Amino acid sequence: MIVQVDGGHIPVKQKGKRSFEALSAIAYQPDNIKQVDQNHRQITNKTCVVSTLNDELDTIKSFVLNAAHKQGMTEQTRVTGLADGANNCWSVVLSLKSHCLDLECILDWFHIGQKFQNVKNLVNLLRNPWIA
């Protein structure tokens, strides 16, 4: 099973407030990823959840556990958790650990790419310090 968790800030128009945080998650079985065409895939059966409650992540953790169970997670299921590296996202993913056989946590591809870009920029700067 795959569980992806991500967060984001939603702007508000209320004076003195800039935004509030929302966490979302999706749970699905790899067998439910279908090829649409050469460049696109689609998840045909998934459960999505979201929470904006400021409650120490209790609600989103409960929602994610229920979503994973709805998608067939048992104590014998191997789960791959994908997140962006934020502590709150990893906390939600890690909350599944005692409910499954194995939990493998992976930084999502977009943020892996960002890390490589940061290293590449640093290497380029070290090679050509006069460019900065």
The DSSP secondary structure of 33-96, one letter per residue, reads EEEEETTEEEESSEEEEEE---STTHHHHHHHHHHHHHTT--TT-EEEEEE-S-HHHHHHHHTT
- pLDDT tens by residue, 80-116: 999 988 999 999 999 999 999 999 999 876 766 777 7
The CA distance from 46 to 57, in Å, is 22
Domain boundaries, the chain: 2-127
Query: Quick count: other Cβ atoms within 10 Å of Cβ 85?
Result: 12
The CA distance from 95 to 73, in Å, is 13
The conformation of residue 130, written as its DSSP 8-state character, comes to T
- pLDDT tens by residue, 8-50: 999 888 888 888 899 999 999 999 999 999 999 999 999 999 9
Closest CA to 109 of 79, 83, 74, 75: 83
Q: What is the largest CA-CA distance in the chain?
A: 57
The pTM of the full predicted model, rounded to 2 decimals, is 0.81
